[in-house]
């Protein structure tokens, strides 16, 4: 039986709205949080890749987590992104998030310095031993240069504080192998919006989604239909929104989704360096795909 599942359905990997000068726009952040919850998503991920956690200062990162916990007020689980390539820092930030009231932690694999599979096991066990809340492992080798192998998941699955996987390696064969080993112990979440239905079909529990920033209710419907047995309807929605998903990843995330959310009135169209504003040609296509999906763009 799976341990303390954090959510089932959609967890939005929230952007961190910013003002034109680069400061965090807490007014827009609060409105975005409320809209997401009202739209039916099942959890919110704070200060992850999409939330530009890598370019938030330590003080900002902690304040964003604290603000989110206080704004959400237990309406949905708060998943704090607290991973780092510095294990001691990951532990410190994770403990802060637990004390602040987060319900779970999202811990990415170490980037730049990377790790062997032995190193991954040891790192995650040390973090999990140090915290009081469940951890979702985040595997995104395209960004970190390291992949969690199925056999490594099998070892980590036995830790009582490790509850799930956000899988963004894109390798369905490896995902099938992983689920054969740990499907009865860990929740599997798609980390790629274009693979939600394939992941669900392998016993997945949902998605940590970029798409749901702009289409929260619709992304949740995609999952809900699958869980209700309407696999054909779920697949139809996966294909319907594929052009928008592709536009949202036409440049490195979160550049396109920040442009999209600015168009919807949530903060300025700005990312912190080294990310730069979206190319105008790509933005035109993105806005066309948003309008095709029924999204109203106000600016």
DSSP letter for each residue of 154-220 = HHHTTSTTEEEEEE-S--HHHHHHHHHHHTTTSEEEESSGGGHHHHHHTT--EEEESGGGT-HHHHH
Q: How is residue 62 written in tokens?
A: 């902690």
CA distance 111 to 54: 11
In this prediction, residue 298 carries a pLDDT of 80
Q: What structural domains and CATH numbers belong to the chain?
A: 9-228 (3.20.20.70)
The catalytic residue among 42, 124, 153, 166 is 166
**Does the bond joining 254 to the residue before it have cis omega, within 30 degrees of 0?**
yes
The DSSP 8-state label assigned to residue 294 in this structure reads: T
Map residue 273 onto helix, strand or coil.
coil
In this prediction, residue 3 carries a pLDDT of 66
What is the full per-residue pLDDT of the chain (299 aa) written as tens digits? 466 799 999 999 999 999 999 999 999 999 999 999 999 999 999 999 999 999 999 999 999 999 999 999 999 999 999 999 999 999 999 999 999 999 999 999 999 999 999 999 999 999 999 999 999 999 999 999 999 999 999 999 999 999 999 999 989 999 999 999 998 999 999 999 999 999 999 999 999 999 999 999 999 999 999 999 999 999 999 999 999 999 999 999 999 999 999 999 999 999 999 999 999 999 999 999 999 999 999 85
In this prediction, residue 102 carries a pLDDT of 98
Dihedral of CA atoms 119, 120, 124, 125 in degrees, nearest 10, equals -50
266 as an active site residue: the answer is no
CA distance 206 to 12: 11
In this prediction, residue 240 carries a pLDDT of 98
In this prediction, residue 1 carries a pLDDT of 43
The catalytic residue among 124, 133, 138, 241 is 138
pTM of the predicted protein model: 0.96
26 as an active site residue: the answer is no
Decide if 45 contacts 51 (C-beta within 8 A): yes
Owner of token pair 């807490």: 26
Q: How is residue 48 written in tokens?
A: 């992850």
Dihedral of CA atoms 147, 151, 152, 154 in degrees, nearest 10, equals 130
Decide if 94 contacts 130 (C-beta within 8 A): yes
């Amino acid at each position: 039986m799976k341990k303390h599942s954090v959510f089932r359905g959609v967890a939005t990997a929230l952007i961190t709205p910013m003002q034109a000068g680069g400061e965090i726009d807490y007014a827009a952040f609060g409105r975005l949080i409320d809209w997401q919850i009202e739209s039916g998503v099942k959890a919110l991920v704070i200060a992850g890749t999409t939330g530009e956690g890598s370019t938030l200062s330590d003080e900002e990162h902690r304040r964003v987590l604290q603000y989110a916990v206080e704004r959400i007020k237990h309406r949905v689980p708060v998943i704090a992104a607290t991973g780092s390539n510095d294990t001691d820092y990951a532990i410190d930030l994770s403990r802060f998030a637990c004390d602040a009231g987060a319900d779970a932690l999202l811990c990415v694999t170490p980037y730049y310095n990377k790790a062997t599979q032995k190193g991954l096991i040891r790192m995650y066990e040390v973090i999990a031993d140090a915290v009081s809340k469940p951890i979702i492992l985040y595997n995104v080798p395209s960004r970190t240069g390291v992949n969690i192998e199925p056999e490594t998941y099998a070892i980590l699955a036995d830790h009582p504080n490790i509850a799930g996987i956000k899988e963004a390696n894109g390798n369905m064969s490896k995902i099938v192998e992983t689920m054969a080993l740990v499907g009865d112990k860990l929740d599997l979440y798609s980390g790629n919006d274009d693979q939600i239905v394939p992941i669900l079909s392998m016993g997945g529990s949902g998605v940590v989604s970029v798409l749901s920033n702009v289409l929260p209710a619709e992304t949740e419907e995609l999952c809900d239909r699958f869980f209700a047995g309407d696999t054909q309807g779920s697949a139809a929605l996966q294909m319907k929104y594929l052009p928008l998903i592709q536009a949202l990843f036409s440049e490195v995330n979160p550049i396109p989704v920040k442009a999209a959310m600015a168009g919807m009135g949530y903060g300025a169209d700005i990312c912190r360096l080294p990310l730069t504003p979206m190319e105008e040609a790509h933005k035109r296509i993105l806005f066309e795909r948003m309008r095709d999906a029924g999204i109203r763009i106000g600016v």
